[in-house]
Amino acid sequence: MQVKSNNLLPSEKITRCAPNFPVSKALDLRVCMKLITNTKDESHATVICKLIRESASCFLCTSFLSADGLEIILPPLLESIKSNQLDVQVISNGEAQYTRPAVIRHLGKVAELKHCVFKDNEKRLHTKLYYFEGPAGYTCLIGSANLTRNGLLENEELSVMYEGEFGSLEHRSIASYRDSLLKQMGVKI
């Protein structure tokens, strides 16, 4: 696979797919990818908080949302809601052992933030998708880190961060998944 650097992120961009890699599965050439792990120099917390501050809208979907995770992400969320009129949607698991009722109540007190609790008798929400939009395009993280202190800072976690243009194959796929989750929960798109 040939790799070429780009100017969007300090990451790599695929310019040619490996032999026998289905074209429909190939990364769109308008997308940059970077791996995010929790290290002393960079963590899920630093990346997510930075994206919150720079975005016009964000969609945070996680299985586990804890009070200590909320302590990390809520200050930049409130700051950006106030200064940038950030549009925020949060989806978390509805089971009390994953997202405590006190956390749900706390989020409910932030009028500008839309929090949906995923409840499905047949499925458990296990998605970790953090999606952000700005004037130049979208950025999303898809991986293992929950919105807990451990997930954001301490655990060995891995997420793939994509940055790309609206309308790219990846953007359409991610936005479609996000919209399907919201529709399942009765949110009008």
How many domains does the chain contain in total? 1
| Structure confidence at residue 31 as a pLDDT band (50, 70, 90) | confident
| Structure confidence at residue 27 as a pLDDT band (50, 70, 90) | low
- 11, part of any domain: no
Residue 150 confidence (pLDDT) = 98
- 35, part of any domain: no
pLDDT, one tens digit per residue, over 40-88 is: 999 999 999 999 999 999 999 999 999 999 999 999 999 999 998 899 9
pLDDT, one tens digit per residue, over 96-155 is: 777 888 899 999 899 899 999 988 878 889 999 999 999 989 999 999 999 999 999 999
CATH code for the domain in which residue 148 is found:
3.30.870.10
Residue 139 lies in domain = 41-184
| Spatial contact of 133 and 57, defined as CB atoms under 8 Å apart | yes
Specify the residue for token string 């769109």. Answer: 28
Strand arrangement of the beta sheet that strand 137-143 belongs to: 3-5, 12-14, 31-37, 158-164, 137-143, 129-134, 57-62, 87-93, 113-118
- 140, part of any domain: yes
| Residue type for position 189 | I
